Amino acid sequence: MEYLSTRGAAPPLEFEDVLITGLAPDGGLYVPRDWPSLTEADMHAIGGLSYADAASRVVAPFIGDAVDDEALAGMTRRTYAVFDHPDVAPLVEIGEDEWLLELFHGPTLAFKDFALQLLGRLFDHALARRGERVTIVGATSGDTGSAAIHACRGRENLDIFILHPEGRVSDVQRRQMTTVADANVHNIAIRGTFDDCQALVKAMFNDAHFRADMRLSAVNSINWARVMAQIVYYATAAAALRSGAGPVAFSVPTGNFGDVYAGYAAQCMGVPIDQLIVATNRNDILTRAFNEGAYRVSNVAPTMSPSMDIQVSSNFERLLFDLYDRDGSAIVGLMDALADEGGFDLPTERLAPARRLFNAGRVDEEQTLETIAAVYAETGQLIDPHTAVGVAAARRLRRTRDMPMVTLATAHPAKFPDAVERATGRRPDLPPALAGLMEAEERLQVLDRDLGQLQDYIRAHATVSA
C-alpha cells in the first residue's frame, strides 16, 4: 500500500516510512492511495472474531509486508490483551436502538489507547527491523502524554520524554505518567505553562543537529497509523449490531477530527455507515465548517471536555483532500489561507458530498451537564463530559430511528469526576486497576523553561546517545 501526502509535493511512501515519518516533508498528512475493501462477507466474518483478530484483519492491507500476518496477529493480541474488558470495545444500550461504544477500557481510560498501544508496538517492530533507535519527545496538557507513555513503556528501541507544565495537570493525570517505572520513560515537569512546553518541543525539532543526533520522533495525532487503528471499532460495532449488513449511524465527540475521520475511512472501505455526527463543544470550528461552509479559527475556550478544546482540527485536512479531488495544490492554497488569514470558505459544491454523510452539532456546557444527568436518570449509567457531547448531538441530529445510533464513549467517567458529580451528585470510582495510583511512587525531573538545560538532560538520559 502506498501513501500520498495531502499537499502533493512529497514522494509517495510505504507504510513503515509513513509510520516513522509522521508528518510529510511538504507539511502534508499521509493518506492511503486506495481504500482496501471490506465486503459484506468480510463484515460478517468480523462479527465472529475477537477484537484483536478483527483488528489484524482490518489493518493488514494498510500495513502490507511491513509486518507479516502471523507477527501482526500476535501484535494485536498483545495490544488488546492489556484492555480490562473481555470485549475490548463493548456496546451498551442506553435507549431505543441507541448505544454507547465504550472505548475507555485501556490503561489510561480514554480511546487514544486503542491507537497508541498498537502504535508503540508497530514502532518497536519497525525500528528493530531497521536496527534503529529513536527518541520520542512530546508535550502534554494532561491526557495524551499518559497514553503515549503507556504505549511506549518497556519498548526496546526507543526512549520517551514527555514534558508537562509543573503543577498544571491534575494529580491523577500526573500520576498516570510519573508512576510508570520503566527505564525508557522520562517525565519532565517544566516550570511554565503548556504553551512553554510545546514551544520547547518545537524548538528541539527545529534544532537540526539535536534532531539528527537524538533521532527525534513523535507519536502525535496526525500519524496515519493512529487513524488506521481507530477504523477497527467502527467495523466491529457495525458487525455486532447488524451482522455487517444494515447501516449504522455514529456520533463522535470531536477535537482534531482523527477519530471521526477513521469513521469516514471505515465507510470508504465498505463498512455500512449512513451517518457520522461530528459532535463539538463550544470550540466549534468544525460545526461552523460543515454547517456554514466557513473554516475559521477563533479563540480556544476552556470547557468540561478539554480534549476537544482545539483551535484547528489537523486531521480535517485529510477529508479536505478528498473533497478537493485529491488535488494537493488546492490543499496548499487552503492551508496558506488558514495561516495568513485565519481561515477559508468551503463552496457548497465541495461540501455537498460530505454533507450527505456528516452532520455536525455544537453542544454547550449546560447541555453537557443535562445530558450526563439525563443518561444517569434513564439508565443508571455515568458518562464523561466528552461522551455527553456525543450523546447530546446524537439525540438532536439522529436522522432516523430505523438505524442503530452509536455514540463513541471516549473517556471513562472517573477521568472527569468533578463534572460527573456536579451533574449527578455521584462521584465515579476509579477502576480497580488504577486504585493503587495515588500511593505508587513517582519519578520526574523538574526543569526550568530553558532549551539548553532540557537538551542536556535528554542527551544525558536517552540511550540513543550512549
Ligand X SMILES: *Cc1c(COP(=O)(O)O)cnc(C)c1O
**Which range touches ligand X (CB under 6 A), out of 45-53, 253-261, 318-326, 328-336?**
253-261
From candidates 108, 135, 140, 410, binder to ligand X by CB under 6 A: 410
174 lies in the binding site for ligand X (CB under 6 A): no
Instruction: Based on the residue annotation, tell me whether 112 is a catalytic residue of this protein.
Output: yes
Give the pairing of strands 13-14 and 134-139.
unpaired
What's the rounded Cα separation, in Å, for the pair 89 and 105?
7
145 lies in the binding site for ligand X (CB under 6 A): no
| 322 φ/ψ angles, rounded to the nearest 5 degrees | -75, -40
Number of neighbours of residue 56 by Cβ within 10 angstroms = 25
**Burial per residue of 347-361, b for 16 or more beta-carbon CB atoms within 10 angstroms, e otherwise:** eeeebeebeeebbbb
Nearer to ligand X, 184 or 230 (CB): 230
251 lies in the binding site for ligand X (CB under 6 A): no
Is residue 257 classed as helix, strand or coil in its secondary structure? coil
233 lies in the binding site for ligand X (CB under 6 A): no
Q: Which of 7, 57, 105, 112 is catalytic?
A: 112
CB of 75 to ligand X, least distance (A): 22
From candidates 62, 224, 250, 257, binder to ligand X by CB under 6 A: 257
Q: Find the helix packing angle between 224-242 and 51-63, rounded to 10°.
A: 130
236 lies in the binding site for ligand X (CB under 6 A): no
CB of 110 to ligand X, least distance (A): 4
CB of 133 to ligand X, least distance (A): 28
| Binding-site size, ligand X (CB under 6 A) | 16
**Which range touches ligand X (CB under 6 A), out of 48-56, 79-87, 178-186, 247-255?**
247-255
Q: Which residues does 241 contact at the CB level (< 8 Å), separation at least 6?
A: 91, 99, 248, 404, 406
Residues 284-313 that bind ligand X (CB under 6 A): 307-308
258 lies in the binding site for ligand X (CB under 6 A): yes
What are the residue ranges of helices labelled H in 100-193?
112-130, 143-152, 171-178
**Which range touches ligand X (CB under 6 A), out of 50-58, 119-127, 256-264, 418-426?**
256-264
The H or E element containing residue 95 is strand 91-95
Sign of CA dihedral 177, 180, 184, 189: positive
**Which range touches ligand X (CB under 6 A), out of 20-28, 192-200, 255-263, 454-462?**
255-263
220 lies in the binding site for ligand X (CB under 6 A): no
From candidates 58, 110, 235, 277, binder to ligand X by CB under 6 A: 110
What's the rounded Cα separation, in Å, for the pair 73 and 53?
6
254 lies in the binding site for ligand X (CB under 6 A): yes
Residues 376-395 that bind ligand X (CB under 6 A): 386
Point out which residues pair with 159 in neighbouring strands: 135
From candidates 7, 57, 105, 112, binder to ligand X by CB under 6 A: 112
Ramachandran region of residue 312, left (φ > 0), alpha (ψ -120 to 50) or beta?
A: beta
Nearer to ligand X, 143 or 284 (CB): 143
| 279 φ/ψ angles, rounded to the nearest 5 degrees | -100, 120
CB of 148 to ligand X, least distance (A): 12
**Which range touches ligand X (CB under 6 A), out of 42-50, 158-166, 254-262, 435-443?**
254-262
Identity of the amino acid at 424: T
What's the rounded Cα separation, in Å, for the pair 430 and 417?
9
10 lies in the binding site for ligand X (CB under 6 A): no
The H or E element containing residue 248 is strand 248-253
371 lies in the binding site for ligand X (CB under 6 A): no
CB of 337 to ligand X, least distance (A): 22
CB of 197 to ligand X, least distance (A): 18
What's the rounded Cα separation, in Å, for the pair 319 and 115?
19
CB of 391 to ligand X, least distance (A): 13
Give the pairing of strands 273-280 and 248-253.
parallel
253 lies in the binding site for ligand X (CB under 6 A): yes
Kindly list the residues in this chain that would bind ligand X in the complex (CB under 6 A): 110, 112, 143, 221, 253-259, 307-308, 386, 410-411
Catalytically annotated residues: 112
